[in-house]
Amino acid sequence: MAIVIDIDVLLAKKKMPVGDFADAIGITPANVAVLKNGRAKAVRFSTLDAICRVLECQPGDVLRWVSDEDLETAGTAS
């Protein structure tokens, strides 16, 4: 089981640079990279709230669940 964070997609839609996004939500660009690369172990609700506010989206637009099977298939397809 994996939770995927789709910040890349949302930032691209808004045409927002990572640095501007990090400043707007109050975290470092390095921590944005941790989120984007799927290395985050947790996300604070206050951070999720800020992400949704800045990107004008819902939490479900940011987070999605992917089954182990789908994750393995995606990993072998690349």
Would residue 47 count as lying in a domain?
Answer: yes
Would residue 77 count as lying in a domain?
Answer: no
Question: Could you give the number of structural domains in the chain?
Answer: 1
Would residue 42 count as lying in a domain?
Answer: yes
Would residue 23 count as lying in a domain?
Answer: yes
| Separation CA 56–CA 52 (nearest Å) | 5
* pLDDT tens sequence across 30-43: 999 999 998 999 99
Would residue 54 count as lying in a domain?
Answer: yes
Treating both helix axes as pointing N-terminal to C-terminal, what angle do 7-14 and 45-55 enclose, rounded to 10 degrees? 30
State which residues form the domain around 18: 2-72
Would residue 78 count as lying in a domain?
Answer: no
Computed over every residue of the chain, the mean pLDDT equals: 90
Residue 44: give its domain's CATH number: 1.10.260.40
**pTM for the structure as a whole:** 0.83
Burial bucket for residue 60 (CB in 10 Å: 0-12, 13-18, 19+):
exposed
